[in-house]
Chain A
Amino acid sequence: MRQEERTKRAMLALADGRVFSGYAFGATGEAVGELVFNTAMTGYQEVLTDPSYCGQLVCMTYPEIGNVGVNEEDAESARIYVEGLIVKECWRMPSNWRARMSLDEYLKRNDVPGIEGIDTRALVLHIRKHGAQQGVLSSVDLDPQSLVAKARAAPSMVGCDLVSRVACRSAYDWEVGEWELGGGFKRPGPQEMRDRPRVVAVDYGIKRNILRCLTAVGFRVTVAPAGATAQEILAHRPDAIFLSNGPGDPAALPYARDTIAALLGKRPLFGICLGHQIIALALGGKTYKLDFGHHGTNHPVVDLKTGRVEITSQNHGFAADAGSLSGLAELSHVNLNDLTVEGLRGLGAPFFSVQYHPEASPGPHDANYLFRRFYRLTELFPRYGAQALEHLEAEQAAS
């Protein structure tokens, strides 16, 4: 029984001196990172494998984690990117027909430590009141003072290029579509692939489900590394360019900003999360760090054109500054909880971007239509060029 396994102590220390004592699971060791909490009740495997969490310790607010184990299909990348996992209770025996491994084992294999048995709600309240900060999770050093000192010494995320740690090194093609219950992932045949428009997806830490969604709506996808120049990207002869999610501070990525600035207007562009922030920077806008970010699957976002509300999946610690963008782009989506910028569209340029995650995984599929919109934009671009977005919107309004 698992109670007996709760024998090894672990400790979590925050830079401001708060310490939580609990039990270790996953790998034995120590992890340093920015402490964030995620409020999704499902999808811990997707969270763990989302490269955007690089450099972060994640606390799941839902207390029972590990119930359904892990499987091959639900990974958003090849490995765990979360530095350390914090939960109320970790289940070592999964129960789900797709489960292939326990969460505990998964963390061990990925050399990621976890802590359980702490008052996670107290931790969340602390972060909410005092903001995100650096923390250390350890099952090897159980001296609070030493851990707090390590947390204080850890560098802040601001100004730190984490993308270079997670992005691919060279370009590759992606050929897998969406997941289906009982059928696994759909794979379009080579014949079908050949005739499709090509999108180059710039990888700042891309989640697989974005690639699957792009494939599912009809794109032929080539993934390019984050450091690719505009010329390198255009050399793939793309019909459209997609900018992915990724970890950390967008302002620490001047190379990405410059690349995108050079591409704006040349091809239809769609950005998600970090990709959206990079577009904002490329336009000449600013980004800033939120107190404790948005990490969850229940954030209401309103589409300012239609008035419709989407329940969205979110994972970001930085945001685009609305004021800095006036005249540069049009605000298309707003977060109803705190009125932060959730989406932009081009003014006379064929691009749009969202701060949230229309690819979900984890989270609701409400915003999945954006991929179809991007595909249509790509279809309209050769004919309408800079006016393609306006035509697209006119088309949608008419239907």
Chain B
Amino acid sequence: MIGSGPITIGQACEFDYSGTQALKALKEEGLRVILLNSNPATIMTDPEFADRTYVEPLTAEVAAEIIARERPDALLPTLGGQTALNLAIELAENGTLERFDVELIGASLAAIKKAEDRDLFRRAMLKIGLDLPASAIARSVAEAERALESLGLPVIIRPSRTLGGTGGALAQDYGEFRGKLEWGLASSPSHEVLIEESIAGWKEFELEVMRDRADNVVVICSIENLDPMGVHTGDSITVAPAQTLTDKEYQLMRDAAQRIIREIGVDTGGSNIQFAIHPETGRMVVIEMNPRVSRSSALASKATGFPIAKIAARLAVGYRLDELSNDITRKTPACFEPTIDYVVTKLPRFAFEKFRGAADELGPQMKSVGEAMAIGRTFKESLQKALRSLEVDSFGFESACDKGLGAPARAALIERLKTPNSRRLYYVADALRMGISVEEVCAWTRIDAWFARAIAQILAAERALKADGPLGQDRLRELKAMGFSDRRIGDLTGAGEAAVAARRRELKIAPVFKTVDTCAAEFEAFTPYFYSTYEGEDESRPSSKRKIMILGGGPNRIGQGIEFDYCCVHASMTLREAGFETIMVNCNPETVSTDYDVSDRLYFEPLTFEDVSAIVDTERPEGVIVQFGGQTPLKLAAPLARAGVRILGTSPDAIDRAEDRERFNALVRALKLKQPRGTLARTPQEALAGAARIGYPVLIRPSYVLGGRAMEVLWEESGLKAYVAQALMASETRPLLVDRYLEGAIEVDVDAIADDERVVIGGMMEHVEPAGIHSGDSACVLPPRALDGALIAELARCTRMLARELGVVGLINVQYAIFHGEVYVLEVNPRASRTVPFVSKAIGVPLAKLAAQVMIGRKLADLGFAVERIPRHVSVKESVFPFSRFPGVDPLLGPEMKSTGEVMGIDESFASAYARAQTAALTPLPRAGTVFVSVRDADKPRLESLVRGLRAMGFRLGATDGTARFIRGLGIDCDAVRKVAQGSPHVVDLIRRGEVAMVVNTPEALGAADSASIRRTALELRVPYFTTIAGAQAAVEAIAELKRARFAVRALQDYHRACSQL
């Protein structure tokens, strides 16, 4: 089986969910399963899930090595997203599968190609009499121009064989057409684009279809996109089931889906098929088909309770649908179509604030980094629950127009309705508030009136609420049934959340929990999978067993992703083994944690104080675990504790001591540890004065953030002035932290685990990039390679002291900087960190599981983890970035986290492990060619060994004036390359022409256009580029290793066996 590799936009943890389900199903069949996936943060790569787990780059060479070694009978590529499918195509086409007699199961090569190749797909659709948007394939600019003559503008340009719609774009005029065409051709692995009649504004639907080898076909779920065509479905607000189709129209779509899956020839498994319908004529066209499990199938599985991936895996090994049973009803077969008696709404979560220069506009290219799903008995309820599930500080339809809704705002508002963006739903509400009619709003947005009317009804209730007096029983109950949060009602009435909650208690208005059962209650359900609603009858029937509740991480975002879900899943698994009933609360449909198989009971609910409290009131758990789900549950720790809920493990007060900067400083002082000089600033004046006192460069950020949001290194006062002008507005209640930036320091992350007897180091990770690059973005190596024994001992000592002082029970993560040989504490997180899965895989010890056991009172000594385990092999973690999704953004690293995912390379040496990690991170290093070097003055002293190393390996060097002079001054050959400003042929031309194999480019002052366009071009053309000398230096070592030997693969289980013998 092939996994999907690192988390990227368009390919997130839904493939860990599907892969994990599939692995479990295949193992239950008694099959020997071999897994290839480069992503260590996945549950699927846990060594117990497959017989052999290869955490190696997802390349054809590596896959062939594994196949040669393990000799599998079959390859299952339909559960690892587009990555797995593409790799399978490569293995089939290069003869590997034939050579080793490996059968491709799930989908044949012919079927994959028919679905993926736009021309073949189109022909197949026409053959079975289905309609498509008019279109033409082009492999060159000339071909594209000819096509445009007949299609006319606007058109959509879609590159072939990419994931998540990379490079897809709407071109309104000829200028846009040319620009987007070139980009599209460059983005396509086959240098091919489809130019298509624009059907922007049409209604968009998806069907999740399954087929077995006996040709039984069922539709698992229909999904309607609230955002019409033109917005990538991953970025669209989607609703299940379809809401605005009559049965006749729906059945036509179902018939088409059946014909499509048969014609494409997906023999077994699931497919996602997208359709568009003209809102006035009903003309239906086929958009595309994914012949594999997808993000939408994860959503469909969670929305219906039908485990698509698990069933798909069973079908792939030969079962028929009617031979498999429905897990939820037990008595009925899996060969049926789920019917639901609630409404599911998914909202995408975006990260535009992280990418300066990226326009908050949505189009055919996916940009969202995560999603939240909510279930309600009505659309209005599920929509409002989804809003607060998203954790964007929204608890309902707050106004998005901070300057009010006066007449001047109207034009701006209409502009925001016309151009899809991440906040459009709020603008729709504001437009309706302003008195713009539903019809007009629908005309601007092309959103179906049914959805707009639902929002209008919510707003009408808000208006009535403001006008009414105190809340009576019926009124409050009705508002709650519409999905209003206490917080929103409190804001609207001015009474505040607590008063509304108290009033509810007084009136005995509490939610009930209903079951997700695949069958609308027609059959008895055995799976405790619940959602809340305000209705008559409660179905939760809590047990009287000993139970523990685990709060998940909510929607993925940059800084809080799959790693935290991994920890939550581990906690649940181990506590179940320990005899507890586990209760999972989460609202992210992509995750393993929201699989109803993982915990004893699953509540698919928003992670707000109100929603979590209601579950606590019903379930009465012995304790709640907040330290595994990242910042989301951590923020709930204090309010839950105040409400009398027992928080397991480290106390909420200790969490606050680590998070609150003033308390933290006091803690560090008391322990006599060093930290960079710093100060707190509540006003711009304080910030400027503080920085002057500390001395530049300074590192500045708002307190209480995860993933280093709005964090920056500022080199001089002018930069700080610009920063505070924006930042303080954004967080008035939270002070700014201003710290001395330790330039060039080595950063080290330490993960440790503590019970009340001891603190054991889990792993120390030395960052490859220097301090100042966010730890989540930096490559790191375990064990450290440049630290001596004394420093390592000091890091361990500091970590122990901090853990002891904070009374940590469970996990703790400390970030240090080593500056001039001394240890500085940067940050302490008394919770599971992002690196826990990586460390666990590197050392072969499941840290999150141990932490969960410690939290229920077990001792590390009894758990067999009394001393640190330092492996002989080297593990490197590298980060993966979404820059290619954000045109115009400078792909530069800094203190604000920007990566979406990670990969792991393991080997005997750093160089080789780093080379693997780089290859896995989708930017394989070159073995020859020209390296373009352009570094700022401050980096020049460290340039010599780098360029000498490159020359020694036969690389040519190219550099612009200053750097070239410097290199030649060292007596090293270097070609002069013109800057962009010096005219063509300049450096960007060279990169475009493929004459540059690698780029080393460290930034001048931020925003230097030349340097940014070099990085941007390298990124778009997939030329490896390094923005730090340290990163480049590591790359040089890795290249040397690559040239010396080819990869030999080794399974994680073998590494761990070696580890456990230490």
Contact = CB atoms under 8 A, between A and B. Distances in A.
A40 B254 CA distance: 14
Interface stretch (B226-234, B453-461, B683-691, B800-808): B453-461
A76 to B, nearest CB: 11
Given A97-B279, A97-B282, A39 B322 contact: no
Interface string B425-467: 0000000000000000000000011100100110011001000
A41 B537 contact: no
A74 B247 contact: yes
A61 B332 contact: no
A119 B341 contact: no
Interface stretch (A63-71, A141-149, A221-229, A319-327): A63-71
A311 B246 contact: no
B251 A67 contact: no
Interface string B458-498: 00110010000000000000100000000000000000000
A299 B218 CA distance: 11
Given A311-B337, A336-B335, A98 B246 contact: yes
Interface stretch (A161-169, A263-271, A355-363): A355-363
A20 to B, nearest CB: 8
A46 B247 contact: yes
A398 interface: no
Nearest to B333: A336
Contact of A181 (B284, B450, B461): B284
Nearest to A93: B453
B923 interface: no
Given A119-B537, A121-B514, A298-B337, A1 B251 contact: no
B340 A62 contact: yes
Interface in A119-143: 119-122, 124-125, 128
A86 B478 CA distance: 19
Contacts of B252: 181
Interface string A1-32: 11110000000000000001000000000000
Residue in A91, A97, A365 with the greatest tally of chain B CB atoms within 10 Å? A97
Interface in A324-346: 336-337
A167 B218 CA distance: 35
B995 interface: no
A89 B245 CA distance: 17
Interface stretch (B54-62, B100-108, B360-368, B518-526): B518-526
A61 B341 contact: yes
A307 B321 CA distance: 11
B251 A365 contact: yes
Contact of A311 (B218, B249, B284, B450): B218
Interface string A37-75: 101111101100000000000000111100110010110
B244 interface: yes
Contact of B522 (A1, A39, A179): A39
Given A3-B461, A95-B450, A298 B536 contact: no
B28 interface: no
A119 B535 contact: yes
Nearest to B449: A95
Given A1-B457, A62-B340, A74-B248, A39 B214 contact: no
Interface in B345-378: 377-378
B280 interface: yes
A121 B340 contact: no
A12 B824 CA distance: 71
A96 interface: yes
A308 B461 contact: no
Residue in A68, A297, A365 with the greatest tally of chain B CB atoms within 10 Å? A68
Contact of B246 (A20, A74, A298): A74
Contact of A337 (B336, B450, B520): B336
Contacts of A73: 248
B249 A181 contact: yes
Contacts of B214: 307-309
A309 B282 CA distance: 30
A385 interface: no
Contacts of A311: 218, 336-337
B255 interface: yes
Contacts of B1061: none
Contact of B333 (A46, A91, A300): A300
B244 A95 contact: yes
B1053 interface: no
Nearest to B243: A67
Given A42-B250, A308-B216, A91 B450 contact: yes
Contacts of B249: 96, 98, 181
Interface string A345-389: 000000000000000111111000000000000000000000000
Contacts of A363: 247, 251
Interface in B293-321: 320-321
A182 interface: yes
A296 interface: yes
Contacts of B321: 309
Contact of A362 (B247, B322, B449, B456): B247
Contacts of A2: 453, 457
Given A1-B457, A39-B519, A41-B241, A62 B339 contact: yes
B281 A97 contact: yes
A95 B249 CA distance: 13
B693 interface: no
Contacts of A274: none
A88 interface: yes
A302 interface: yes
A196 to B, nearest CB: 25
A336 B461 CA distance: 46
B449 A93 contact: yes
Contacts of B457: 1-3
Given A128-B522, A309-B322, A43 B535 contact: no
A20 B537 CA distance: 11
B341 A63 contact: yes
B342 interface: yes
A180 B457 CA distance: 35
Contacts of A67: 243-244, 450
Contacts of B461: 3
A182 B285 CA distance: 13
A181 B282 contact: yes
Contact of B537 (A1, A62, A122): A122
Nearest to A299: B336
Contact of B460 (A3, A39, A68): A3
B245 A68 contact: yes
Contact of B322 (A3, A121, A122, A336): A336
B246 A182 contact: no
A397 to B, nearest CB: 16
B659 interface: no
A182 B283 contact: yes
Given A40-B339, A68-B245, A364 B254 contact: yes
Contacts of B539: 125
Nearest to B280: A97
B279 to A, nearest CB: 6
A298 B336 contact: yes
Given A121-B514, A309-B322, A1 B460 contact: yes
A389 to B, nearest CB: 24
Given A121-B520, A336-B333, 11 more contacts: A43-B247, A45-B246, A46-B247, A88-B378, A96-B245, A96-B249, A98-B282, A124-B341, A298-B339, A337-B333, A362-B251
18 contacts: A1-B460, A2-B453, A39-B522, A41-B339, A42-B242, A43-B246, A43-B247, A61-B339, A61-B521, A62-B339, A64-B379, A67-B243, A93-B453, A97-B280, A122-B536, A181-B283, A297-B247, A308-B216
Interface of A: 1-4, 20, 37, 39-43, 45-46, 61-64, 67-68, 71, 73-74, 88-89, 91, 93, 95-98, 118-122, 124-125, 128, 179, 181-182, 296-300, 302, 307-309, 311, 336-337, 360-365
Going nearest first, the 7 A-B pairs with the smallest beta carbon separation are: A43-B247, A119-B536, A122-B537, A362-B247, A61-B520, A95-B450, A42-B247
